[in-house]
């Protein structure tokens, strides 16, 4: 084998190895984020200040991994000059890392509401809605990253129906806050404001999961807009 061909083959092998490591880091980042969603939601519902603080502290690990993924992408782009699917993969990983890091930041904001509400208990109806929103946010994030791990744009498309569920939960939360009966005191006003913000944070986490799904479709097809049915057509560019 000519030396140039051997060098190219070796460079390709090393690139594939680093790309595999990069994808593993993204999956690990998503696992940290889903843990933050579950732990942060429970801390809020339990009014557990210690658990809330652990979620805040853990966010630094999410940030550091997200920055490491970004740096690794830049190095590979500069060193390997990837094209076609390889380039789309690296660009997608850059975006996915950012989306996941933002979801981690949003959960940090969620658990900060624990401090604001303490020691007040949350209205039982609101507790139920918040619990479901936390579960939905975690499930959408898991589904998005599973689609990424398996290079499965069809699975990514399921995020759109699921995101409607989060939209409905957000509407239910706001509707109940605005229409519930009873005296309006300082504690209730605080609860209404803080949980309205919490609801918005969960809605944004779901939006970030949809953006991850959009990147999965982009890698597989080269098309933007995961909701576009053309992205899943057999003749789509790969």
pLDDT at 234 over 80: no
pLDDT in tens, 82-137: 888 899 999 999 999 999 999 999 999 999 999 999 988 899 999 999 999 999 99
Residue owning tokens 């690794």: 72
The Cα 97–Cα 159 span in angstroms is 18
C-alpha dist (Å) from residue 19 to 12, 22, 38, 76, 93: 10, 5, 29, 8, 10
| Encoded tokens for 150 | 């398996």
| Encoded tokens for 114 | 């624990």
With bands split at pLDDT 50, 70 and 90, how would you rate the model's confidence at 3?
Answer: low
Single out the residue of 37, 14, 11, 32 nearest to residue 134, CA to CA: 37
Burial class (CB in 10 A: 0-12, 13-18, 19+), 175: exposed
Question: What average pLDDT is seen over the chain?
Answer: 90
Cis peptide before 211 (omega within 30 of 0): no
pLDDT at 197 over 70: yes
pLDDT at 230 over 50: no
State mean pLDDT over 152-174: 91
Contact 210, 159 (CB under 8 A): yes
Distance from CA of residue 222 to its chain's centroid? Answer: 21
pLDDT at 36 over 90: yes
C-alpha dist (Å) from residue 94 to 34, 39, 73, 91: 19, 26, 7, 5
Q: What is the pLDDT of residue 224?
A: 72
Please give the model's pTM, rounded to 2 decimal places: 0.89
């Amino acid at each position: 084998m000519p030396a140039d061909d051997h060098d190219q083959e070796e460079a390709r092998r090393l690139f594939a190895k680093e790309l595999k490591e990069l994808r593993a880091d993204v999956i690990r980042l998503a696992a940290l984020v889903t843990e933050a969603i579950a732990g942060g939601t429970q801390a809020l519902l339990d009014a557990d200040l210690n658990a809330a603080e652990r979620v805040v502290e853990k966010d630094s690990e999410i940030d550091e991994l997200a920055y490491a993924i970004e740096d690794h992408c830049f190095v590979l782009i500069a060193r390997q000059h990837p094209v076609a699917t390889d380039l789309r993969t690296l660009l997608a990983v850059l975006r996915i890392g950012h989306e996941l890091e933002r979801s981690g930041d949003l959960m940090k904001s969620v658990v900060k509401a624990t401090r604001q509400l303490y020691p007040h208990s949350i209205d039982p109806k609101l507790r139920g809605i918040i619990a479901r929103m936390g579960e939905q946010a975690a499930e959408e994030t898991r589904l998005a990253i599973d689609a990424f791990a398996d290079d499965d744009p069809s699975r990514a498309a399921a995020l759109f129906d699921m995101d409607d569920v989060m939209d409905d939960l957000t509407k239910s939360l706001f509707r109940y806050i605005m229409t519930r009966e009873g005296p309006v005191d300082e504690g209730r006003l605080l609860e209404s404001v803080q949980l309205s913000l919490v609801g918005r944070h969960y809605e944004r986490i779901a939006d970030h999961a949809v953006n991850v799904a959009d990147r999965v479709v982009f890698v597989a097809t080269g098309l933007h807009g995961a909701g576009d049915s053309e992205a899943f057509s057999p003749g789509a560019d790969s």
